[in-house]
């Protein structure tokens, strides 16, 4: 089952970033769940931690400047010009 994408925002860039962020958060959640499994081999644990590190880096990348885009979106929705 494919996730429903966020749409109907004024900013296409914000839509894309939020959808990508959601995907990375889901990936990180799955990896964390897998790390909790009993009986993991050291090699499996290291692989999961490496993938989790990459996911965290992507999350960091997707959230940089996101707060400003969200504030702009709120302003557009309210009919206000963005504050600078």
**pLDDT average per 10 residues of sequence, the chain (84 residues):** 66 88 96 96 97 95 89 82 55
Per-residue pLDDT at 62: 82
Structure tokens at 76: 């557009």
Per-residue pLDDT at 24: 95
pTM of this structure: 0.76
Per-residue pLDDT at 12: 85
Q: Given the structure tokens 């749409």, which residue do they identify? A: 7
1 HSE (CA, 13 A, CB side): 2
Per-residue pLDDT at 4: 67
CA dist., res. 11 & res. 38, Å (int): 44
Per-residue pLDDT at 80: 66
């Amino acid at each position: 089952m494919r996730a429903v994408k966020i749409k109907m925002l004024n900013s296409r860039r914000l839509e894309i970033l939020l959808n990508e962020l959601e995907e990375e958060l889901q990936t990180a959640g799955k990896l964390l769940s897998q790390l909790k499994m009993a009986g993991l081999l050291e090699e499996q644990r290291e692989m999961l931690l490496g993938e989790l590190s990459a996911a965290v880096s992507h999350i960091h990348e997707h959230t940089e400047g996101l707060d400003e885009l969200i504030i702009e979106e709120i302003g557009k929705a309210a009919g206000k010009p963005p504050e600078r």
